[in-house]
């Protein structure tokens, strides 16, 4: 086996959302937030958990950005929507308490993985709406990336 073949078995290739893709997601989510007149923060992270794009509507509380980042991180880490996972474990108080106390985890609606096929390439987190529209806004962003291809 050549050195190149040995290295090939030890290295993984990961696909990740690009800056252009993250900006498209943020743009669509922001447009939805504006239509709904929701003051929210929106964060897109790449497959490695790095913030790639962020927007905060005027008048949105500063803390909403941290919560949006935590929602995106949770969706990326768990590879599922934050509300779906939160509902799935709500009867397990020990798990809810344990996960909920971890830094960077938010088990409330508004975090979605961003996928290409079956592969998670990033995540979006939205926080700040007082009328429960964080998930709707996040979905508008994630759907914009899928529909653009």
Q: What is the pLDDT of residue 51?
A: 97
Q: How far is CA 6 from the centre of its chain?
A: 35
pTM recorded for the entire structure: 0.88
Q: What is the pLDDT of residue 97?
A: 75
pLDDT by 10s per residue, the chain, length 149: 566 566 666 777 889 999 999 999 999 999 999 999 999 999 999 999 999 999 999 999 999 999 999 999 999 999 999 888 777 777 777 777 777 678 888 888 999 999 998 999 999 999 999 888 999 999 999 999 876 55
Q: What is the pLDDT of residue 111?
A: 96
Helix (H, G, I), strand (E, B) or coil at 105: coil
For the four alpha carbons of 133, 139, 145 and 149, in that order, the dihedral sign comes to negative
Backbone angles phi, psi at 46, to 5 degrees: -85, -175
Q: What is the pLDDT of residue 30?
A: 97
Q: What is the pLDDT of residue 10?
A: 76
Q: Is 118 left (phi over 0), alpha (psi -120 to 50) or beta?
A: alpha
Burial degree of 66 (CB within 10 A; 0-12, 13-18, 19+): middle
């Amino acid at each position: 086996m050549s050195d190149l073949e040995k290295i090939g078995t030890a290295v993984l290739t990961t696909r990740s959302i690009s800056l252009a893709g993250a900006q498209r997601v943020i743009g669509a989510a922001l447009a939805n937030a504006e239509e709904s007149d929701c003051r929210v923060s929106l964060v897109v992270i790449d497959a490695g958990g790095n913030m790639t794009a962020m927007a905060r509507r005027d008048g949105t509380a500063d803390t909403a950005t941290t919560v949006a980042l935590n929602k995106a991180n949770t969706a990326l880490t768990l590879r599922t929507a934050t509300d779906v996972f939160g509902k799935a474990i709500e009867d397990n108080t020990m798990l809810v308490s344990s996960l909920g106390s971890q830094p960077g985890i938010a088990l409330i609606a508004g975090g979605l993985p961003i996928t290409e096929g079956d592969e998670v390439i990033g995540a979006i987190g939205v926080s700040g709406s007082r009328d429960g529209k964080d998930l709707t806004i996040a979905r508008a962003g994630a759907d914009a990336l899928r529909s653009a291809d």
